Amino acid sequence: MAKKSTPHKPASSKTTSKKTSRQSSSSLLTWLVLGVVAILVLYGIYQQITYANRRNVRIPEIDVQQAYEKYQEGVFILDVRQPEEWNEGHIPNATLIPLDQLAQRVNELPRDREIVVVCRSGNRSREGTLILLENGFKQVSSMAGGVTDWSAKGYPLVQGP
């Protein structure tokens, strides 16, 4: 038994117009998404290059013994920890400026004195030292080992604000 063939009906111009409009919108959206992705990828590459360049700066670092000797001579001690950490124990006469505020508050620091930057273990103090170097400070160093090693050596700490 042979099937009857039905003549093919051409799509109306109204249907074709809707399809073309949807395809155009879809294509535009695809290009827009691809453009945003490309921008984000380029921004990520830029950030990695900037981060790598910052890390090529030599950060002056001293050990806890050297920091204690400088402390006894009256060096400016900058603590970049958070207030809660500071309250648990900090070096007497140190100044607290949390690392996340340091770049905006560098004008509060003396440019005519040597500064030793401290934190809990030595990581944030390296970042703080880098921020100061990038802002034109010349006499600045990071204390390796941080307040943890300072305390282990039996050097003075005070608690509270």
Instruction: Return the active site residues.
Output: 119
Q: Give the sign of the dihedral formed by CA 153, CA 127, CA 131, CA 88.
A: negative
Residue spans of beta strands (DSSP E) within the chain = 61-62, 76-79, 95-96, 115-118, 140-143
Q: Report whether 153 contacts 79 (CB < 8 A).
A: no
SS3 state of residue 23 = helix
The partner residues of 28 in beta bridges, in order of sequence, read none
- Cα–Cα distance, 101 to 18 (Å, whole number): 55
With vertex at residue 73, the alpha carbon angle to CA 67 and CA 74, rounded to the nearest 5 degrees, is: 90
- Residue given tokens 């030793």 in the structure block: 116
